[in-house]
Amino acid sequence: MKHRQLGATGPHVSALGLGCMGMSGMYGPSDRAESIATIHAALEAGVSLLDTGDFYGSGHNEMLIGEALKSAGSQRDNALLSVKFGAQRDPAGGWSGNDTRPASVKNFLAYSLQRLGVDHIDIYRPARLDPSVPIEETVGVIADMVKAGYVRHIGLSEVGPETLRRAAAVHPIADLQIEYSLISRGIEDGILKTCRDLGIGITAYGVLSRGLISGHWQKGATTANDFRAYSPRFQAGNVDRNLALVEALRKIADTKQVSVTQLVIAWVAAQGDDIVPLVGARRRDRLQEALGSLDVVLSTEDLAQIEAAVPKGAAAGDRYAPAQMAHLDSEGAGHV
């Protein structure tokens, strides 16, 4: 397994991370036993970075990871846990804002440690900027938890350049978690440069755009409980245009004798040694395919062909519905 360091001060992690959100119902039903087997297979393959959020399945995902770690044997100690907090949910599964007040941070952390069955979290991060709480206060209380030994490193998620600078002035930031893929390239408009100026790494989620550009997803594959049923890029009027981009990528992948999934993950990884793609595999076969991307070498000519097939801004539709886009500091909203 190849490794990359998250930023100037963060940990060395596997060059590919496993995002576990999909194992807790966000994309429809998942098989618990297969999910645990996938986590075990990832650890055995040398994948060290496991990413979750305390609100994934309202705690389900953390308990699932805790169960997987408990039965991981000698591989247990290789796991590095990245946890997001702050997103609030109601009993119906809806979303009701973000809470990153200092007292709330400590409360969320206490519950995560218990559900995961660990005595510390490797990277702890607010899931979104809370517009009612200065980022300095949120980072400050996590820094206190670092001093107390409950957290090793501080991360951020979906924030813009100004928030990054303010946060880094309080405590070193290991990484920014943000969506980055061939069809989600907003990070290139200032955020990536700011991270590099500040020595902050990138953990890129959505590298397959929730399966849209994986080469596997087909129209009609979503269910009512699937996040993608409400995602603009999967809607009529957008989805056909986006799937046409996938077919253009498939021609390039076929020439290189790799899968579309492997090609698009390799593209993200090729954007810099400071970027670690997160893949949301829920099954061992999908994990194995994603791991194959680590062996894909993209030449300058390959990158030019990919750019021509899917130029920046080619996707139809935003990456989230309007209500969710409004909460993204990384998109220019919510600055304190």
Residues noted as catalytic: 56
Beta bridge partners of 28: 26
d(CA 286, CA 332): 34
Query: Which tokens in the block code for residue 205?
Result: 């989620």
Alpha carbon 73 to chain centroid, angstroms:
26
Task: Centre a 10 Å sphere on the Cβ of residue 202 and count the other Cβ atoms it contains.
Answer: 25
Helices and strands of the chain, counted as H and E runs: 11, 12
Under 8 Å CB-to-CB from 231, ≥6 apart: which residues? 210, 317, 319, 320, 321
Output the CA angle 267-52-132, nearest 5 degrees. 100
Q: Are 16 and 47 in contact (CB under 8 A)?
A: yes
Q: Are 248 and 309 in contact (CB under 8 A)?
A: yes
Beta bridge partners of 48: none
DSSP code at position 268: H
Q: Are 80 and 151 in contact (CB under 8 A)?
A: no
Alpha carbon 255 to chain centroid, angstroms:
29
